[in-house]
Amino acid sequence: MNQDLIYKKSIKRNIIEFLLNTIAITFTFIVVLPLVLVLFYVLIKGGEQLNFALFTQLPEPPGDDLLSAGGIGNAILGTIIVTTIASIIAIPIGVGGGIYLAEYAKGGSFSKFIRFGTNILSGIPSIIAGVFIYGTIVSTKIIFGSSFSSLAGGMALSILMLPTIIKTTDEGLKLVSDNLRKGALCVGASKFTTITSITLPTAFRPIVTGILLAVARAAGETAPLIFTALFSFYWPQGSESFLEPIASLSVLIYNFALEPYKAQNELAWAASFILIILLLFLNLLARYLNKLTIQNK
């Protein structure tokens, strides 16, 4: 065997390569560590508290009962209600805006301004969205004289959802081949028909993926809700509940984690567990849909 061809550990090139590889692997490990730790810590701490009553009972005000803090039923329901309100506001506006950018805007200064604005909006700290709705909706009592309400909470979250939805709709539509649009036009479809029957259905999955990611982000937000939806120890009552403060998982965690009572702290862990599972599920669903899209290409 030719001795020159044999791998030599001790030469400079191979030593440096080994060192750099080791450093890269170590840092990768350090990066992943907090992620895994947070996830497992919450899952274990929260998982311990899991029982059926959690879903059916109301939380008890701190200090009333030192042994139990009740459940988080109204907070789970509240998170779902507020996120739904936010989706109802943000999805039509966001998808509509995305359609405008991708299909109607001709790359002029107006569309550039909107794209730029969307990017800025996606970087806005969520607390700003909360303060904005607090200043315009809550403190002015502009909606039927109600101040803190699930409606205001939904509005604050919708501000955070908008940029993601606009961007994914815009980009999803841009991925649709121009040949399809031309094909539709050449069988006599108007632009509107082309968009509703051909381009939108073709871009359906990337758009839904974007919406799911936006919903997942909104569902986990705390800051905008503290200023707008506040919190409640009761079940939402009928249609009036839209105009009244409402509980949510994230605000419940914020409130109860800082309490000096062990029972409340444990409830906060349980709420964290449920919230993480919810977000994980939404993200996995989005990933799954995205994968389907790529395979179809």
Q: Is 202 in the site for another protein (CB under 8 A)?
A: yes
- Which of 86, 90, 198, 275 is close enough to bind another protein by CB under 8 A? 198
Site string for another protein, 80-109 (x = CB under 8 A): --------------------------x---
| Nearest-angstrom CA–CA distance, 14 and 5 | 14
Q: Is 185 in the site for another protein (CB under 8 A)?
A: yes
Beta carbons within 8 Å of 250's beta carbon, 6+ residues apart: 79, 219, 220, 221, 222, 225, 275
In whole angstroms, how close is the CB of 177 to another protein at the nearest point? 7
Q: In this structure, are residues 62 and 252 in contact, taking their beta carbons and an 8 Å threshold?
A: no
Crossing angle of helices 73-99 and 204-219, rounded to 10°: 140
Q: In this structure, are residues 207 and 175 in contact, taking their beta carbons and an 8 Å threshold?
A: no
Q: Kindly compute the dihedral angle of the four CA atoms of residues 104, 105, 106, 107, in this order, to the nearest 10 degrees.
A: -150
Q: Is 196 in the site for another protein (CB under 8 A)?
A: no
In whole angstroms, how close is the CB of 180 to another protein at the nearest point? 6
Q: Is 177 in the site for another protein (CB under 8 A)?
A: yes
Instruction: Output 182 or 291, the one with its CB closest to another protein.
Output: 182
Q: Is 192 exposed, middle or buried (0-12, 13-18, 19+ CB in 10 A)?
A: exposed
- Which of 123, 188, 238, 260 is close enough to bind another protein by CB under 8 A? 188
Amino acid at 200: L
The 8-class DSSP code of residue 71 comes to: -
Residue with tokens 């994914």: 168
Site string for another protein, 37-76 (x = CB under 8 A): ----------------------------------------
Instruction: Output 179 or 237, the one with its CB closest to another protein.
Output: 179
| Nearest-angstrom CA–CA distance, 296 and 252 | 42
Q: Is 183 in the site for another protein (CB under 8 A)?
A: yes
- Which of 3, 10, 109, 179 is close enough to bind another protein by CB under 8 A? 179
- Which of 1, 31, 186, 294 is close enough to bind another protein by CB under 8 A? 186
- Binding residues for another protein (CB under 8 A): 106, 177, 179-180, 182-190, 193, 197-198, 201-202
